[in-house]
Amino acid sequence: MDWLVKTDETNNIPLLETKGLTKKFGSFIANDKIDFSVNAGEIHSILGENGAGKSTLMKSLYGVHAPEEGEVLINGHREELHPPAKARTHGISMVFQDFRIIPSLTVLENIALAYSEKGFFLKKKKLREKIETVTKRYNLSINPDSYVWELDLGERQRVEIIKVLVEDMTKIIIFDEPTSVLTPSEVDAFLKMLKMLREDGYGIILITHKIREVLACSNKVTILREGKVVYSRSINEQTTEEELVSEMIGSTDIPQANQSQKYKGIQKELLRVEGMTVEDDRGQEILSQINLSLKAGEIIGVAGVSGNGQKEIVEALFGVRKVKAGKIIVKEEDFTGKSAKAFLDAGISYIPEDPLHDQIVPGLSIYDHMVLSGMPVEKKNVGIDWDKVKAKFDQSEVVKELRVAEGNRIADTLSGGNVQRMVLARALLSEPDIVLVSYPSRGLDIATVNSIHNMFRKLKEEGVGILVISEDLTEVFEISDQIVVLGQTNLYGPYSPNDTTSYEIGKVMLEGEAS
């Protein structure tokens, strides 16, 4: 395979360019006359708040959407990119935020399904060699014979990236919020890989909310706001975080996090775990004899490298995963072995690590999702009083502060960030006593992240107990009263954020307490 695309520096024709690109959904204009380009050997980042039109633009470039107006040029020639198969023939590949892989198949089988060389010409030995060459070159360690269901989110993303890189025709790669599922160390490795791809002549389009990553690796940045380009420049030493944030939100008045106040009531124990042992999907012990206590008016941050039991602990604490040993005590009552409905009825709200996969019912509106294990509803005759549901949703301060999309929108058509907003709003509208939340800030802009953190602080002041799973140590330290760490089947801690450092917590994440 020859990755080294020789670029003629005197040739200024972009690999891909859009002129006046416009995409509408009914009367809603998602992209409004977008001018954009990416060159060979260049990383061009796209910034913008949720709903700014980033994902819509990328889906148009990948051929998922057919724009109503404007044109797309590939190497200076006007081309039609819809459907995606046509975009791929022009060298455009995309790594989606929601992965397009089949859990019951192996890594090799998933890549073979997507591979363009089909029929008798597809030889597994040849494809395996390509996979091994790509993984070695870009440090994308993966076992081709592993089943996808065995992999954590970071490993699943590697499968998506390898699917793109084994294709000889690929020249342009679109990454949609790629670091939202990665640990800090994985982010560093990912950015290093991006720089290698740039050196090998690929044109890289990076959609993200993480400005520091943009400044760390990008040649150019374009900012969308309300479907329009409001900023597009090369990045240099003078480009600042503050400048980009103010352009994203359309104001120099950047939302700030509130100071956390202590809960003034009696800190009753809401949730206790005694010697809990839990198995993963392969039947292996991933948590062994762990103990944990969550009190009213307390936020506990759970840190750890991805795949060390984050998913399993919250599933066990919500009754959707069986406990092999130990007890789960909710408000002084033994809930071990009870159903998820019992946990829900006890006032526990749950936001999983992958809400798009785990909590979205295709075809149902946001209003519909609000009443599914969400906010309290009133009956009307033998059904639900939908007028009151809609009024409560539309008037909710939580909905307004999180800027949830309009209630009549179909949930499975939303971007990943807007799905995250919706499930967070639904959890908080259920008026919970305990909140179990995985990666609350994943894929969200800085204004929304600060709003979520402020909501958690307000809930804490009202006596709610919150367990936050996060790989972002900055987030863990900012909002937690106590920090615990998952690793090597153990739960280490608790640690006080005031008496330890992110470096020390990071060391426990990697090596455990015995280090």
Per-residue pLDDT tens for 321-351?
Answer: 999 999 999 999 999 999 999 999 999 999 8
3 & 81 share domain: yes
DSSP type of residue 257:
P
85 & 108 share domain: no
Consecutive H or E run containing 379: strand 379-380
Q: Is residue 188 pLDDT above 80, yes or no?
A: yes
* Residues 230 and 54 sit within 8 Å (Cβ to Cβ): no
Q: d(Cα 193, Cα 477) in Å, to the nearest integer?
A: 28
334 & 462 share domain: yes
196 & 157 share domain: no
Q: What is the pLDDT of residue 254?
A: 57
Q: Is residue 443 pLDDT above 70, yes or no?
A: no
Considering the chain, what percentage of its residues have pLDDT values greater than 70? 93
Q: State which residues form the domain around 124.
A: 100-170
Three-class SS of 190-229: HHHHHHHHHHCCCEEEEECCCHHHHHHHCCEEEEEECCEE
* Residues 453 and 257 sit within 8 Å (Cβ to Cβ): yes
Tell me phi and psi for residue 66, to 5 degrees. Answer: -105, 110
240 & 185 share domain: yes
Helix (H, G, I), strand (E, B) or coil at 153: helix
DSSP type of residue 274:
E
Model confidence band, residue 184 (pLDDT cutoffs 50, 70, 90): low
Q: Which residues pair with 127 in a beta bridge?
A: none
Q: What angle do CA 347, 467, 207 make, to 5 degrees?
A: 115
pLDDT in tens, 16-54: 999 999 999 888 899 999 999 999 999 999 998 777 888
What is the spatial order of strands in the sheet that 333-334 belongs to? 285-295, 269-279, 325-330, 333-334
What is the CATH classification number for the domain harbouring 317?
3.40.50.300
Tell me how many domains the chain contains: 4
CA atoms within 13 A on the CB side of 108: 14
pLDDT in tens, 125-177: 888 999 999 999 999 989 999 999 888 777 888 999 999 999 999 999 999 88
- Choosing from 431, 456, 483, the residue where a domain stops is 431
235 & 371 share domain: no
162 & 189 share domain: no
Q: d(Cα 365, Cα 412) in Å, to the nearest integer?
A: 8
424 & 451 share domain: no
Cα→Cα distances 77→13, 293, 294, Å: 10, 63, 61
- Domain membership flag for residue 259: no
The pair of structure tokens assigned to 377 is 């509803």
- Domain membership flag for residue 244: yes
Least confident of 263-277, 337-351, 364-378: 364-378
